[in-house]
Structure 1
Amino acid sequence: MAYEKLKEEIITYSKEIGIDKIGFASAAPFSQFKARLEEQQELGYASGFEKGTIEERTEPSLLLSGAESIIAIALAYPTRMKNSPKSVKGDRRGMFCRASWGTDYHIVLNEKLEKLSEFIKDRVEGFTCRSMVDTGELSDRAVAERAGIGFSGKNTLMIAPELGSYIYLGEMITNIPFPPDQPLDDGCGDCTKCLDACPTGALVEPGRLNAQQCLAFLTQTKGFMPDEHRDKLGNLIYGFETCQVVCPYNRGIDLHFHEEFEPDPELVKPRLVDLLNISNREFKEKFGKMAGSWRGKKPIQRNAILALAHYKETSAMEDLIRLMEEDPRPVIRGTAAWAIGKIGEEDGFKKIEAAMALEESDEVIEEMKKGLAFRK
C-alpha cells in the first residue's frame, strides 16, 4: 500500500513538472524483445547505433543492482510551426524532422527524470535509480509499451492514443517494487498506411524495420547515400517521417506543451547554400542545441547537397563546384560531383571532367562518372 501511495504521488508530481504521460513497469527481463533483437541482428536489420550487448539491452538488473521496476515517461512535441520560411527557386531550404525541433530532447527528458529521482529520494531511504533517454541500453519503446504509455505501431513507433507518435520517451530503472501498469492492446488493426507509404520498403513487415534501408537512419550516416535513395529525401536533411505523417493516430495532432520544443524556423528550415559554407565552429554554435546535430555537420552537408540536386538548383552551382574541387572530404567532393551532374548544366559537366583528371580517390571518381552519366 505504501508503494501504491507513493506511485500516486509521483504521478501527481509528474504532471506538475510537465511530463505528459507516465507509466510503471516491472524490471523483469524483456525475453520476447531479446528474441526480436537476435532476429534483427541475424537479418542485418540493426542500425549499429544501438548501445550495449543484447543482454544489457534486455535485462535491467544488469544495469542497476536490485532493479525492481521501471518508470517510463513521455513528452509530446509539436508538428507545425508558425512563420515557416518558404523554399523557393534561388533560395532553397532544407528541413530538420520534427523530432529535432527545439532543444535536444535528451537534455529536456533527462532534466525531468532528474527531478523525479530527487522527488523519490526525498521520500525513500536507500533509493537508487538509473535513468536513460534514447542513448541508453534499454529500448525506450519496449519499456514504454510494458508500462502502458502506448502500443507499438506497425511503423515500429510508440503510439499513445491521446498523443499520437510525436512523443519523446525516457525511463528510470528503480529499486522500488512499484505496482505495474497494464500494457495497452494493439491499436493498428488492419491499417497498413505506414507500410504502404514507406518509400524504401524499410518496413519489411508490420513492426519490423530494416534500419539499413530507413531514410531516417540513412540521413545520419557519414558515408555516401545509396544511389537508389538519393532522390527520395526531397529537402529533408535530418530524419524522415512519412510513416508518422500518414498514421491515422497523428491526424490533427499538434501539441505545443513545452516551450523547449518550439521550433526556430530559421534553424529547422535553414538555407541549403548556407550549410555548404558553414564552419565546424559555426555549425556547433548555430545547431548544437538541436538533436539533429549529434553526428556533426558532414551528414547534414551531404544531405543539403542532395536536396539542392533534388531541386536542380542552378544558383548553387558555384558552391557545389568549389566543394567538388576543394573539399578535403571524399564524401562531400563525390556527392557534390553527382549533384552537379544531376542539375544538368553543360558547364557543370565540363567542370566534372576537369576535376576528374586531378582526382585521386577512386570513390570520388566513381561519383564523378555517375554525375557525367546525367549528360544527355
Structure 2
Amino acid sequence: MTYAQLKEELIAYSKTIGIDKIGFASADAFLTLKDRLLVQQELGYQSGFEEPDIDKRVNPELSLPKARSIISIALAYPSRMKDPPKSTKGDRRGVFCRASWGKDYHHILRDRLKKLEDFLNEKVPEAKTLSMVDTGALSDRAVAERAGIGWSAKNCAIITPEFGSYVYLGDLLTTLPFEPDTPITDQCGTCNKCVDACPTGALIQGGQLDSHKCIAFLTQTKGFLPEQYRKKLGNRIYGCDTCQQVCPKNKGIDVHNHPEMEPDPEIAKPRLIPLLTMSNREFKERFGDISGSWRGKKPIQRNAIIALAHFKEESALPVLKTLLTSDPRPVIRGTAAWAIGKIGRTDEEEMILKHAEKLEKDEDVLNEIKKGLDLLETNVTRN
C-alpha cells in the first residue's frame, strides 16, 4: 500500500468514527509562529497555561523524534441550546461558554485520536505516533492552519468554511510521510467585528491576543478579578463567546453531530445562588464532566458572585453575607464584600461590612470590604 492510499483509507475511516474534518501537514518547524510567539512573550501577552518552551511549541520533532507528518482533526460543536432556561429576577443564571457544553472535549478528541492511532498502527506497525489535545506542546491552531482545516482568524480561532469557528481541534504526529494538504486562504478580509466587539479590548489587532485581558482567561484565574473587568464579566462564569458570536462566518451555523456534546441546560446555564454553597463533592458530581470545571469550584463561585452583583440580585444578599463572615477563602470573602456593596442599599449591609472589617485579617479582603462600603455609600446616596 502506498502512503497516498493509506491517507485515503484514513480519511474514509475518520468519517466512520465521528471526525468532521481531517487534514494533513508536514512536520517541519513552524518558523513564522516562533517569531509571533517571541513577540507575544516580549509583550507579556501569554496566559501562562501554554507550554513555556517556545522551541517545543514550534518544533514537532521535540515531541516525536523523526516526525514526518501531523494529522489535524476538527469536531464541530453546537452553537445553540435547545430550550435554554430564562434568567429572571430572583432566579438568576450564569453561563458557560459553548466550548464547555456537553462532555469535556478533551475526552472526546482523545477517543477519536486514539482510534486513528490504532488504525495506523494496525496498518503500519513500525509507525510511531503521538496525539495532542489542547494541552500538548504544539499550537493546535498553527497545525490546523497548515493542514487546511481552516484559516487563523482575527479572533485567534480557526475558522472552517463548513463549521465556522465552532470546532474543537486535535493533532496526531506520526513518522509516516503523508502528502500535506493545501492551507486555506485567509478570508477575514477587512472585517474587524471581533476586534471591535471584544468586551475588554483583549484582541489588540487581528490575530494578536493579550491573554491577561481576555474574559475567557480571566474566568479561569483563581485570585481576585481585577475590578476594571468585573462589570465586563456579565453573567459569564466560564469562558467567553463574544468574538465568535459576532463573526459573520459563524452566522447561521449550529452543528449537532455529536450527542455527547449536547448541553444540559441546567449545567450549561446554571442557577447562580445554589452555586455559592456547593461542596467540592457536589460541584464535582454536577460539573465534573464538563471542561469548564478543570480549575475547580473557586473561580466559578467567584464569577457567580460577580454575576449576581452584575444583576444587582438582592435575593443573593443573605448567602453573600454568610460567605463574607464564614468562608475560609479570602477570594470568596472579599468578592462577596464587594458584591454586597454593589447590591445593597440599607443600613444592614453597612453594618455587616463594618463588622466584618473589624474581624478581618487579610489585607486583600479588607481592601474589598472598603470597596464595598464605598459602593454602598454611592447606592444609598442615589436612593
Give TM-score scaled by structure 1 length: 0.99
1:40 corresponds to which letter in structure 2?
Q
Classify the secondary structure of the residue corresponding to 2:237: strand
CA root-mean-square deviation? 0.8
Task: State the 1:122 CA deviation.
Answer: 1.1
CA distance in 1, matches of 2:103, 2:167: 14
Classify the secondary structure of the residue corresponding to 1:164: coil
Classify the secondary structure of the residue corresponding to 1:339: helix
1:247 corresponds to which letter in structure 2?
C
- Once the two structures are overlaid, the 10-residue window that deviates more, 301-310 or 81-90, is 81-90
Task: State the 1:60 CA deviation.
Answer: 0.4
Q: Which residue of 2 aligns with 1:213?
A: 213
Q: Which residue of 1 aligns with 2:203?
A: 203
2:75 is equivalent to residue 75 of structure 1: yes
CA distance in 2, matches of 1:345, 1:141: 48
1:258 corresponds to which letter in structure 2?
H
Q: Which residue of 2 aligns with 1:350?
A: 351
CA distance in 2, matches of 1:330, 1:345: 24
2:334 corresponds to which letter in structure 1?
G
Q: Which residue of 1 aligns with 2:365?
A: 364
CA distance in 1, matches of 2:52, 2:26: 21
CA distance in 2, matches of 1:304, 1:329: 15
Classify the secondary structure of the residue corresponding to 2:230: helix
2:34 corresponds to which letter in structure 1?
K
Gapped regions of structure 1 (runs ≥ 5): none
Deviations 1:50-73 (A, max 9, x none): 124111111000101110000000
CA distance in 1, matches of 2:192, 2:65: 41
CA distance in 1, matches of 2:21, 2:110: 15
Q: Which residue of 2 aligns with 1:183?
A: 183
1:55 corresponds to which letter in structure 2?
D
Q: Which residue of 2 aligns with 1:275?
A: 275
CA distance in 2, matches of 1:302, 1:107: 27
Give the 5 Å matches for 1:219-234.
Answer: 219-234=219-234
1:85 corresponds to which letter in structure 2?
P
Task: State the 1:285 CA deviation.
Answer: 1.0
CA distance in 1, matches of 2:345, 2:129: 60
CA distance in 2, matches of 1:302, 1:136: 28
CA distance in 2, matches of 1:350, 1:180: 68
Q: Which residue of 2 aligns with 1:59?
A: 59
CA distance in 2, matches of 1:371, 1:162: 48
Classify the secondary structure of the residue corresponding to 1:370: helix
Q: Which residue of 2 aligns with 1:326?
A: 326
Task: State the 1:228 CA deviation.
Answer: 0.6
Q: Which residue of 1 aligns with 2:341?
A: 341
Report if the CA contact (8 A) 2:317-2:344 is conserved: no
2:99 corresponds to which letter in structure 1?
A
Q: Which residue of 2 aligns with 1:171?
A: 171
CA distance in 2, matches of 1:251, 1:170: 24
Structure 1 stretches of at least 4 aligned residues deviating more than 3 Å after TM superposition: none
Classify the secondary structure of the residue corresponding to 1:342: helix
1:14 corresponds to which letter in structure 2?
S
2:187 is equivalent to residue 193 of structure 1: no
2:22 is equivalent to residue 43 of structure 1: no
Classify the secondary structure of the residue corresponding to 2:229: helix
Q: Which residue of 1 aligns with 2:381?
A: none
CA distance in 2, matches of 1:293, 1:125: 38
2:101 corresponds to which letter in structure 1?
W
Task: State the 1:31 CA deviation.
Answer: 0.6
Task: State the 1:300 CA deviation.
Answer: 0.1
2:182 corresponds to which letter in structure 1?
Q
Gapped regions of structure 2 (runs ≥ 5): 379-383
Deviations 1:99-139 (A, max 9, x none): 00000000000000000011111111301100010011111
Q: Which residue of 2 aligns with 1:88?
A: 88
Task: State the 1:344 CA deviation.
Answer: 2.6
Task: State the 1:245 CA deviation.
Answer: 0.3
Q: Which residue of 1 aligns with 2:303?
A: 303
Classify the secondary structure of the residue corresponding to 1:22: strand
CA distance in 2, matches of 1:203, 1:349: 39
Task: State the 1:345 CA deviation.
Answer: 2.1
2:136 is equivalent to residue 142 of structure 1: no
CA distance in 1, matches of 2:118, 2:202: 41
Q: Which residue of 1 aligns with 2:258?
A: 258
Classify the secondary structure of the residue corresponding to 1:223: coil
1:353 corresponds to which letter in structure 2?
K
Deviations 1:2-43 (A, max 9, x none): 101100100000011110000000000011101111110110
CA distance in 2, matches of 1:180, 1:287: 40
Deviations 1:190-222 (A, max 9, x none): 000000101111000110000000011000000
2:349 corresponds to which letter in structure 1?
G
1:336 corresponds to which letter in structure 2?
A
2:340 corresponds to which letter in structure 1?
I
Task: State the 1:83 CA deviation.
Answer: 2.1
Deviations 1:89-108 (A, max 9, x none): 11111100100000000000
Task: State the 1:349 CA deviation.
Answer: 2.1
% identity of equivalent residues: 62
Give TM-score scaled by structure 2 length: 0.97
